[in-house]
Amino acid sequence: QVQLQESGPGLVKPSQTLSLTCTVSGGSISSGSYYWSWIRQPAGKGLEWIGRIYTSGSTNYNPSLKSRVTISVDTSKNQFSLKLSSVTAADTAVYYCAREELELRPRWFDPWGQGTLVTVSS
Amino acid sequence: QSVLTQPPSVSGAPGQRVTISCTGSSSNIGAGYDVHWYQQLPGTAPKLLIYGNSNRPSGVPDRFSGSKSGTSASLAITGLQAEDEADYYCQSYDSSLSGQGHVFGTGTKVTVL
């Protein structure tokens, strides 16, 4: 059973870069059958898809965040990562990583990591 | 920011039936993209509840059902139970001139009276 776990600093200063890692256990990130996504949720608000990566390194990003987001994958560590630059208080949120099946049609997210809270503050 | 609209809240007594709507447009649900539903209990990550418009993952009670028509979708909970009190989100895919990607609904809080 595949499990995902987010990790990274819980506090980031404004204008700096937020960096998070998602570690995949119970399966190989290189299986080739999945996309790996980042999703965030500000406190008391809804979910926002940030972007996804395939093991080849191919990425897709939310158009509203595209200029600030970079998602990368490290197959040797069974991890994928998120970098969000020039953060502001509006980027304060719980960040989740999740898996999506690779198919011709966009699919759902399952499973999800437990989430990690990132606060942007000086 | 969300392109899928849900009612902020719905409520019902134990045993009753409640429905949650998810309204989109011609660039997402109306374009033929599937709708999926998630249940989020307080302080936890979202959990897949319905996939591919109307399919339940293993372990999800058959009290939960989903449907899709035109530019909208619905989640129904029959025989409402106290443990169903949670936030519910729909999810689909959007493709428009401004770009494409996964989109979520605004979320609905279900309260069991």
pLDDT at A18: 98
The strand order across the sheet containing A18-25 reads A3-7, A18-25, A79-84, A69-74
Is B1's pLDDT higher than 80? no
pLDDT digits (tens, 9 = 90+) for A41-84: 999 999 999 999 998 899 999 999 999 999 999 999 999 999 99
Q: Which two tokens stand for residue B52?
A: 């591919």
* Average pLDDT, integer, range A31-46: 94
Alpha-carbon distance of A63 to A65, in angstroms, equals 5
From the CB of residue B1, how many other CB atoms can be counted at a distance below 10 Å? 10
| A7-35 burial code (b ≥16 CB/10 A, e <16) | eeeeebeeeeebbbbbbbeeeebeeeebb
Is B2's pLDDT higher than 80? no
- Residue B94 — pLDDT band, cuts 50, 70, 90? very high
Is B99's pLDDT higher than 90? no
- Residue A105 — pLDDT band, cuts 50, 70, 90? confident
Residue of B nearest to A112 (CA): B45
Tokens 């447009």 locate to: B25
Q: Do A110 and B100 touch (CB under 8 A)?
A: no
DSSP structure class, residue B55: B
Q: Which two tokens stand for residue A121?
A: 């503050």
Tokens 């509006």 locate to: A90
Q: In this structure, are residues A106 and A8 in contact, taking their beta carbons and an 8 Å threshold? A: no
Alpha-carbon distance of B84 to B89, in angstroms, equals 13
From the CB of residue B43, how many other CB atoms can be counted at a distance below 10 Å? 8
Tokens 């605004």 locate to: B106
Cα B18 to chain centroid distance, Å, stands at 12
Phi, psi values for residue A98, rounded to 5°: -155, 160
Closest to B86 measured CA to CA, from B62, B63, B107: B107
* Average pLDDT, integer, range A80-89: 98
pLDDT at A63: 93
Is B11's pLDDT higher than 80? yes
Q: Which of B34, B47, B101 sits opposite A105 (nearest CB)?
A: B34
A48 chain-B contacts, CB cut-off 8 A: 1, 104
Q: In this structure, are residues A95 and A6 in contact, taking their beta carbons and an 8 Å threshold? A: yes
B88 touches chain A (CB under 8 A): no
* Average pLDDT, integer, range B67-76: 98
Alpha-carbon distance of B22 to A93, in angstroms, equals 24
Q: Do A62 and B48 touch (CB under 8 A)?
A: no
Q: Do A46 and B51 touch (CB under 8 A)?
A: no
Q: Which of B45, B47, B103 sits opposite A49 (nearest CB)?
A: B103
Q: Which of A46, A66, A110 sits opposite B104 (nearest CB)?
A: A46
DSSP-assigned states of every residue in B68-93: EETTEEEEEE-S--GGG-EEEEEEEE
B92 chain-A contacts, CB cut-off 8 A: 106
State the average pLDDT for chain A. Answer: 96
